[in-house]
Amino acid sequence: MSGEISPIRLHKELSRIWGTPPGWARLSAVNHTVVGRRFMLAAFIFFAIGGLLAMIIRVQLATPESTFIGPEIYGQIFTMHGTVMMFLFAIPMFEGMALYLLPKMLGSRDLAFPRLSAYGFWCYVFGGSILILALLAGVAPDAGWFMYTPLSSGRYSPGINADVWLIGITFVEISAIGAAIEIVVTILKLRAPGMSLARMPIMAWYLLVTALMMLVGFPPLILGSILLEVERAFDWPFFDPTRGGDALLWQHLFWLFGHPEVYIIFLPAAGAVSMILPVLARHPLIGHNWIVVSVIGVGFLSFGLWVHHMFTVGIPHLGQAFFSAASMLVAIPTGVQIFAWLGTLMAGRPQRVLPMLFLFGFFFVFVLGGLTGVMLAVVPFNWQAHDTHFVVAHLHYVLVGGFIFPMLAAAYYWLPHLTGRETSYHLGYVSFWLIFIGFNVTFFLMHLTGLRGMPRRIEAYPAELGWETLNLISSVGGFLMAIGFALFATDVTLQMLYGRRARRNPWRAETLEWATPVPPTSYAFASLPVVGSRRPLEDDPDLPRKLAAGEGYLGFARNNWMEVLSVSTGGGDIDHLVMLPRRTFLPLWTALATGVFFLGLLFKLYWLSGIGLIVTVGLLLRWTKGMGLQRDHGPLEIGRGESALAHYEADYPPSRWAMIFALLADGILFGSLAFALLFLWVVAPAWPPADLISGGWLQAFALMAGLGASAMLTRRAIRSGDDATPRERSLLLAAATGLMAVAAAALFFMSVLPDPTRHAYAAVTAALVVYCLVHAAVGVIFSAYGLYRSKTGYVSAARRLDLVIAQHWHDYTFATALIAMVLVLVVPMVMT
Amino acid sequence: MLPAAAMGGGCSGPLSTLDPAGPNAVSVAHLWWMMLAGAAAILALVIILFLVAFVRRDERGPVRERLWIGVGGFAFPVVVLSVLLVYALLRGEELLPRGSAPGAITIDAVSRQFSWEFRTGGRLESSGRLIIPTGRAVDVRVTSEDVIHSFWIPRLGGKIDAIPGHVNVVRLTADVPGIYRGQCAEYCGTGHSGMSFEVEALEPAAYDRRMAGAAP
């Protein structure tokens, strides 16, 4: 099959299979290059909106007693500035970069789940649009981007504003969780043959840790948002101190997300630095393994320091000291990276080129932000500086230094790859100096403004406090910076339109993303490379030509299949052949249906939400139509005289890993809910509640029996091998026992629980039961779906993937339901 | 000229933490100046190292990975941070309302959108104006009747959040008599900017007279 067709014909055939046609069909794109570009473009548009809001803030604060906008509008403006920049710019921008670069760096043709990234893109754009439309309508969220309750509760924020935040952001978070699973599984499974973990480009390590952090960090916020929305909509008092709730629960859930979030934003950018800096310094990165250890260390430590956002809430000093120490500890792995970069520069011959100038900006701004971060980790200093403009200055140094400067360096470094054109660079230099000087003028003196007592989020201040000069200077700097960013956008546009054609690999880099044509083809690699070291382009400078000629793996087109290879997780040996789904409008339709679900929640039209949910689930099931094989194929040829099983017949294909990581995130959400119960019991006022649960053992037993039977029957269906009759009988029974579990959970909810609006205890307990109910119901769908797949001929002893995935779900549901029942039934006996 | 003016304005100001008027605020201000000096030195070190890489012309020797990563990246921050952590912890311990300070008085501060109310011994003292004696520790028990606010008198010391359902205590002392300004530091809604209050610190004798006079 291989080696016989010309590179041109191979290109044409692969393009036909992988490409996105013009016109309306563009909306059906699932290709990582296309979706990655769209993510980045959309993120930049949101960045411009967030920047515009920042300019309004600077106009307002430029003079004392300003009457430019009133406090109501100002509340919306600063809340939306933070929300847009964190959720609609930073995270999606890095996701876009990761989606675009990752397969190319790993030597793969696409991501593991192309339709998932397309769905994530639409969820992001729709969720973000809800927020922006609310802003235009004057009903944007206005309680600050961390939405502290009770200010954000129904009593003190009665309008739709807070709902817009909770629902819009949760919509966007779906996209983030999807992207995280996509990134983790792609890195673990879809690498080029021979690329062991140790041979991965360093960026892959950064992205792997970041994506895992998202899977652990985002669920607490998703849970918090759900609980707060339920409190607002149905009066379940999770956070209401008069009924056993606690405002501090929200703060814990929020910052349990919020602090890792900072590192989730920083690490991909640091990954870009670790890729770019060695190339431009003309020396391999020193301390590669130490950096990997550091990045993993940051991942763990970042979950142990959220309380440093809460040093003034009255937590015991010893507790504060613990989090203070942890906050300082995280400076050490960051220090290791900084000095590894400095050592690399010293060891090499650094080139004075534009991306390097932005890296200088990164060093200066980020190190300064890190230093003020250490200061804020010092508890007594924090008591003074917390909630002042000192913190505003600090966080902008960290985020602009730790994200925007590296991303600008990355933009100028990878733009020739993205556009296939060279930059002229002159505008870029001007833009750098405007941004760098403007930034420091805005934010350096703001440290002093804060220490002189200016709290954050005030919209007017009297002249006698001595802040007016400092604020005026900050505002001037802000406008300089804005002009700098406008210039950057102009420069990039000009380059895309008029730049000279770039040659391949202009920076003489050594990683695989530079082995694709520029701009990249839809299939990225005409054939897949064999990787023998961390620097494949140094090993074989002729690699790009050989790959284009089809000399690697899969250098052919067959059956209109979109084929990539999956490798063993650690070693990089070929494991199986993955057939990716082709382009489809389904992600768009599904995201629209999901949008209907969320809009129904927003406008309290719950019947509409119900329709949206049913259509969404139906469409998600529709995704699988035509996926799979209706007969066992056995090993298939993959080129170079080798063969591999199709992923439907493999033991650990990407989709199985996706389920495992999805359940990890789900487990964190469940753990956060369990934490809520115990936290409230120990810390909140007005506990224990007057009426506790009574009875419920029978319903709990029925629930556990139903779930346990579903899990066992699914196992038995898998063991039935090629014999369809017992398999389908087991699956039918599993669906029936699953229904029994659903009924038991519903009965539990209706007949056993105290009224959830009376006390936070009843509310959290009810939430735990609803959690079990929802999971049992999804389990029924899995069983019924397995039955359908079996009946339509997609299941055999070898092709058991659908059932294995269902089995993971059933096992997980059984385990969490068991814990939930212990929490609901046993904990009240122990605690009272 | 403008930065000079801003800096020249120095550190004074009715809400300036760098113009301390009590031991709590003095302690933190010291900590700040110390950390500022350290941070400036570290930033200068990093930037100089960065720039030196571009200007040096000598032959590159073997890569000294252990020096860069072991010493610069690891040992250096460990030492600096350990010292800072222990020092800050001890300082923090001194500032906490532990036990009863000699002659300490206790005042309740109740916040609501968008005002402060102060009570001594359960008796309403005043709205928006807190009266304290100089030289004596004042334990302020802070809570809220609605949303979260934060009680902060920058010239006397650090802030503490006013959280509904919780009572937090902050210990402050004013060294010299005078009027100090307080401000809500946690965003609490549209009236947040204006949610300020005044602290009047009186000589002990004047304070006792005022208290006696205010008694019913």
ipTM of the complex: 0.95
Q: What is the mean pLDDT of residues A121-128?
A: 96
**Residues B64 and A343: beta-carbon distance below 8 Å:** yes
pTM of the model: 0.96
Select from B95, B123, B157 the last residue of a domain. B95
Cα separation, B139 vs B142, in Å, equals 9
The one-letter amino acid at B152: W
Tell me the three state secondary structure of residue A15.
helix
B110 shares a domain with B83:
no
Residue A81 CB neighbour total at 10 angstroms: 20
Would you state the pLDDT for residue B162?
A: 97
Select from B95, B115, B136 the last residue of a domain. B95
Instruction: Give the count of domains, chain B.
Output: 2
β-pairing, B105-112 with B115-120? antiparallel
Chain B hits for A143, CB-CB cut-off 8 Å, are 187
Q: Which residues contact B158 (CB under 8 A, 6 or more apart)?
A: A312, A380, A382, A383, A384, A386, B24, B25, B28, B95, B152, B170
Tell whether A304 is within 8 A of chain B (Cβ). no
Do residue A383 and residue B46 have CB atoms under 8 angstroms apart?
no
Considering the domain boundaries, does residue B3 fall inside one? no
Would you state the pLDDT for residue A493?
A: 93
Q: Which residues pair with B153 in a beta bridge?
A: none
What tokens appear for A813 in the block?
A: 């549901």
B200 shares a domain with B127:
yes
Considering the domain boundaries, does residue B30 fall inside one? yes
Please tell me which residue, A174 or B191, carries the higher pLDDT value: B191
The one-letter amino acid at A682: V
Nearest-5° Cα angle at A586, A582 to A589: 155
Q: How confident is the model at residue B9 (pLDDT cuts 50, 70, 90)?
A: low
Chain B hits for A150, CB-CB cut-off 8 Å, are 146-148, 164
Chain A hits for B158, CB-CB cut-off 8 Å, are 312, 380, 382-384, 386
Would you state the pLDDT for residue A271?
A: 97
Asked if residue A762 has pLDDT above 90, the reply is yes
What tokens appear for B120 in the block?
A: 């001594």
- Cα(first)–Cα(last) distance of chain A, in Å? 73
What tokens appear for A625 in the block?
A: 């139509």
Residue-wise pLDDT for B130-156, tens only, equals 999 999 999 999 999 999 999 999 999
Among chain A residues, CA nearest to B28: A381
Tell whether B163 is within 8 A of chain A (Cβ). yes
CATH topology of domain A32-498: Cytochrome C Oxidase; Chain A (1.20.210)
Cα separation, A85 vs A102, in Å, equals 23
Q: What is the mean pLDDT of residues A633-654?
A: 93
Cα separation, B141 vs B172, in Å, equals 11
Best mutation target among A381, A437, A480, A682 (most B Cβ atoms within 10 Å) is A381
H/E run at residue A644: strand A642-646
What tokens appear for A343 in the block?
A: 């050592």
Considering the domain boundaries, does residue B2 fall inside one? no
Q: What is the mean pLDDT of residues A269-294?
A: 96
Asked if residue B127 has pLDDT above 90, the reply is no
Cα separation, B194 vs A461, in Å, equals 8
Residue-wise pLDDT for A185-229, tens only, equals 999 999 999 999 999 999 999 999 999 999 999 999 999 999 999
Q: DSSP characters for B59-94?
A: PP----HIIIIIIIIIIHHHHHHHHHHHHHHHHHHH
Q: DSSP characters for A126-187?
A: HHHHHHHHHHHTT----STTTT-TTTTSTTT--SSHHHHHHHHHHHHHHHHHHHHHHHHHHH
Considering the domain boundaries, does residue B12 fall inside one? no
Q: B150: domain range?
A: 105-214
Min Cα separation A468/chain B (Å): 9
Do residue A340 and residue B84 have CB atoms under 8 angstroms apart?
no
Chain A hits for B96, CB-CB cut-off 8 Å, are 317
Query: Which letter does DSSP use for residue A90 in this model?
Result: I
Question: Which percentage of chain B shows pLDDT scores above 70?
Answer: 91
Nearest-5° Cα angle at A502, A497 to A503: 160
Would you state the pLDDT for residue A395?
A: 97
Would you state the pLDDT for residue A426?
A: 83
In which residue are the tokens 């201000």 written?
Answer: B29
By residue count, chain A amounts to: 832
Cis peptide before A519 (omega within 30 of 0): yes
Tell whether A69 is within 8 A of chain B (Cβ). no
Do residue B146 and residue A470 have CB atoms under 8 angstroms apart?
no
Burial of A559-591, coded b for 16+ CB within 10 Å and e otherwise, reads eeebbbbbbbeeebebbbbbbbbbbbebbbbbb
Residue-wise pLDDT for A76-108, tens only, equals 999 999 999 999 999 999 999 999 999 999 999
Select from B95, B128, B155 the last residue of a domain. B95
Would you state the pLDDT for residue A138?
A: 95
The one-letter amino acid at A153: S
Q: What are the two backbone dihedrals, phi and then psi, of residue A388, each rounded to the nearest 5 degrees?
A: -110, 180
Would you state the pLDDT for residue A431?
A: 97
Best mutation target among B58, B149, B163 (most A Cβ atoms within 10 Å) is B163
B117 shares a domain with B62:
no
Do residue A384 and residue B25 have CB atoms under 8 angstroms apart?
yes
Q: Is B158 exposed, middle or buried (0-12, 13-18, 19+ CB in 10 A)?
A: buried
Among chain B residues, CA nearest to A245: B165
> Given this structure, which CATH class describes domain A688-831?
mainly alpha
Would you state the pLDDT for residue B2?
A: 43
Cα separation, A160 vs A173, in Å, equals 20
Closest CA to A184 of A285, A90, A116: A116
Chain A hits for B23, CB-CB cut-off 8 Å, are none
Would you state the pLDDT for residue B214?
A: 61
**Residues A454 and A461: beta-carbon distance below 8 Å:** yes
How many A-B residue pairs are in contact by the CB < 8 A criterion? Answer: 268
B183 shares a domain with B145:
yes
What tokens appear for A688 in the block?
A: 């224990």
B178 shares a domain with B123:
yes
Q: How confident is the model at residue B216 (pLDDT cuts 50, 70, 90)?
A: very low
Burial of A724-742, coded b for 16+ CB within 10 Å and e otherwise, reads eeebbebbbbbbebbbbbb
Do residue A336 and residue B50 have CB atoms under 8 angstroms apart?
no
In chain B, where do the E strands start and end?
105-112, 115-120, 123-127, 129-133, 138-144, 149-151, 160-162, 168-172, 178-183, 196-202
Q: What is the mean pLDDT of residues A114-137?
A: 96
Query: Which letter does DSSP use for residue B106 in this model?
Result: E
Tell me the three state secondary structure of residue A620.
helix
Residue-wise pLDDT for A623-632, tens only, equals 988 788 888 8
B205 shares a domain with B109:
yes
Q: Which of residues 533-592 of A touch B (CB under 8 A)?
A: none
B81 shares a domain with B113:
no
B185 shares a domain with B115:
yes
Considering the domain boundaries, does residue B78 fall inside one? yes
**Residues A519 and A419: beta-carbon distance below 8 Å:** yes
Would you state the pLDDT for residue A694?
A: 83
Asked if residue B8 has pLDDT above 90, the reply is no
H/E run at residue A643: strand A642-646
Tell whether B165 is within 8 A of chain A (Cβ). yes
Q: How confident is the model at residue B124 (pLDDT cuts 50, 70, 90)?
A: low
Q: Which residues contact A545 (CB under 8 A, 6 or more apart)?
A: none
Mean residue pLDDT across chain A? 94
Q: Which of residues 85-144 of B touch A (CB under 8 A)?
A: 85, 88-89, 91-93, 95-96, 113
**Residues A518 and A504: beta-carbon distance below 8 Å:** yes
**Residues B12 and B19: beta-carbon distance below 8 Å:** yes
What tokens appear for A484 in the block?
A: 């700098």
Would you state the pLDDT for residue A1?
A: 45
Would you state the pLDDT for residue B125?
A: 67
**Residues A686 and A246: beta-carbon distance below 8 Å:** no
Considering the domain boundaries, does residue B4 fall inside one? no
Nearest-5° Cα angle at A742, A740 to A744: 70
CATH number of the domain that residue B161 is part of: 2.60.40.420
Would you state the pLDDT for residue A425?
A: 67
Q: Which residues pair with A578 in a beta bridge?
A: A564
Q: What is the mean pLDDT of residues A266-285?
A: 96
Q: What are the two backbone dihedrals, phi and then psi, of residue B201, each rounded to the nearest 5 degrees?
A: -95, 125
B152 shares a domain with B82:
no
**Residues A122 and A39: beta-carbon distance below 8 Å:** no
Question: Which percentage of chain A shows pLDDT scores above 90?
Answer: 89
Tell me the three state secondary structure of residue A431.
helix
In which residue are the tokens 């000009």 written?
Answer: A494
Min Cα separation A535/chain B (Å): 19
What tokens appear for A12 in the block?
A: 């044409």
B82 shares a domain with B110:
no
Residue A181's Cβ-side half-sphere holds a number of Cα atoms within 13 Å equal to 24
User: Where are the domains positioned within chain A?
Assistant: 32-498, 585-622, 688-831
What tokens appear for A364 in the block?
A: 């200066």
Cα separation, A704 vs A711, in Å, equals 11
Residue B7 CB neighbour total at 10 angstroms: 13
Would you state the pLDDT for residue B3?
A: 46
Min Cα separation A93/chain B (Å): 28
Tell me the three state secondary structure of residue A535.
coil
> What dihedral angle (degrees, nearest 10) is formed by the CA atoms of A607, A609, A613, A614?
20
Instruction: Please give the C-alpha separations between residue B34 and each of A390, B38, B88, in angstroms, as whole numbers.
Output: 17, 6, 11
Q: How confident is the model at residue B81 (pLDDT cuts 50, 70, 90)?
A: very high
β-pairing, B105-112 with B123-127? unpaired
Q: Which residues contact A594 (CB under 8 A, 6 or more apart)?
A: A123, A126, A171, A174, A612, A616
**Residues A167 and A602: beta-carbon distance below 8 Å:** yes
β-pairing, B149-151 with B160-162? antiparallel
Asked if residue A371 has pLDDT above 50, the reply is yes
